[in-house]
Amino acid sequence: MTATSTIRILAADDEEMMRNLYRQVLDKHSGDMHGPYELVLCDQGEAAVAIAREAAAEGDAFAIAFLDVRMPPGRGGLWAAEELRALSAATQIVMVTGYSDVDPENIEQRVPPSDRLLYIQKPVHPFEIRQFASTLAARWRMERRIQEIQQGFERLVEERTAALQKAYAELEYRATHDELTGLPNRTTVIEALSKELSRSGRSGRSVAVVMVDIDHFKSINDAHGHLAGDTVLKAIAERMRHLLRPYDTIGRFGGEEFLLVIPECGREDALLVAERLRAGVADQAITLEGRTLSVTLSVGVAWADDARHQGIDTLVAAADQALYRAKEEGRNRVRPHAPG
Ligand SMILES: [Mg+2]
């Protein structure tokens, strides 16, 4: 149903003379500037409702319905008007009657809204039918046009909003992740640690942090080039991600250093997780342009049993201290360090 389609008109009257009048005046070739019209005629209220129901089911409601108030022997136009209104709020209904005992106000109350219910008294001049049809057709078209513009506008707003949301999500991702490895960046992993510390401060459960460093990374870069170094970083990040649980956060802390935050985890469990990372990387060589390269990790573990007394800096410094020990004692190993 668009602003430019044919105007569909339903007209119900038990008098043949009236039906002929509708036919003559609302002929689709009538040349009315608000046409063309498609006229459907019937002589009973029940028939009018059946036709309107079918039209509504097809999603093509009548723009205008002329309904005679009395159409014996069946139910009259007022009943039909109520039914039509229930089928479509948009249909403009014109009640037509030759009986002076029908109170227009009563009709208006029974078939709201009042601006979509008009009233003509018989005898009707053909020109009146023409004027009603023309005016109501013009209004129908204008309403459809407004609807189209509004829908077009809503679509545009939806598209723009979706594009903005996508751009925002990309920006947010870039601000919170490391571009090379796709892992959370330093800011994000520190935020995760801060969140875990305040949560464990409330629950009394411990938090562990693990500092991971790739052994001899500089010599990998020197021997194979920086692109090879990037490949190694990506491969190790990917392998560590697979070795962890979804609620552990591992981020790239800087250079070849990674920081892991493990919620609800004490010393022993943290050492097990750290050892799993170390072994998972050391046990399987990395393939680099057809060659294999053995890479190892040094890992430092720190933990906070009572998070209320442990700040981020203390905990990270302790993990750093442990990492230093692992390096000192020959690399490719895990070492703990109690904070404070
Ligand atoms: Mg009648």
| Beta pairing class for 257-262 and 249-254 | antiparallel
> CA-CA distances (angstroms) from residue 214 to 135, 220, 252?
81, 10, 12
Catalytic annotation present for 268: no
Of the pLDDT bands very low, low, confident and very high (cuts 50, 70, 90), residue 8 is: very high
Q: Taking the CA of residue 292 as centre, how many other CA atoms within 13 Å lie in the half-sphere pointing to its CB?
A: 6
Which of the following is catalytic: 143, 191, 256, 257? 256
Cβ neighbors of 44 (< 8 A, separation 6 or more) are: 12, 14, 71, 74, 75
Ligand 1 center–CA 15 separation, angstroms: 6
What tens digit of pLDDT does each residue of 22-37 get? 999 998 666 677 778 9
User: Is 196 within 8 Å of 303 (Cβ atoms)?
Assistant: no
Above pLDDT 70, what percent of the chain?
Answer: 96
End-to-end Cα, the chain, rounded Å: 75
Tell how far the Cα of 87 is from the centroid of ligand 1, in angstroms. Answer: 23
Distance from residue 73's CA to the centre of ligand 1 (Å): 10
Report whether pLDDT(301) > 80: yes
Tell me how far the alpha carbon of residue 76 lies from the centroid of ligand 1, in angstroms.
8
Q: Which CATH superfamily is domain 186-336 in?
A: Reverse transcriptase/Diguanylate cyclase domain (3.30.70.270)
pLDDT tens-digit map of 201-223: 888 889 999 999 999 999 999 99
Inform me whether the pLDDT recorded for 110 exceeds 90.
no
Cβ within 8 Å of residue 62, ≥6 positions away: 8, 9, 10, 40, 52, 55, 84, 88, 91
Give the start-to-end residue ranges of the domains of the chain: 7-150, 186-336
Amino acid 194: pLDDT: 94
**How close is the Cα of 247 to the center of ligand 1, in Å?**
77
* pTM exceeds cut of 0.85: no
CATH superfamily of 7-150: Response regulator (3.40.50.2300)
Q: Residue 34: which of 134, 110, 112, 165 has the closest Cα? A: 134
Residue 67 CA, ligand 1 centroid: distance in Å? 9
Residue 289: pLDDT band by 50, 70, 90 thresholds?
A: confident
Q: Is the separation of the CB atoms in 62 and 55 below 8 Å?
A: yes
Tell how far the Cα of 12 is from the centroid of ligand 1, in angstroms. Answer: 9
Average pLDDT over residues 246-260: 95
User: What is the mean pLDDT of the segment spanning 160-171?
Assistant: 96
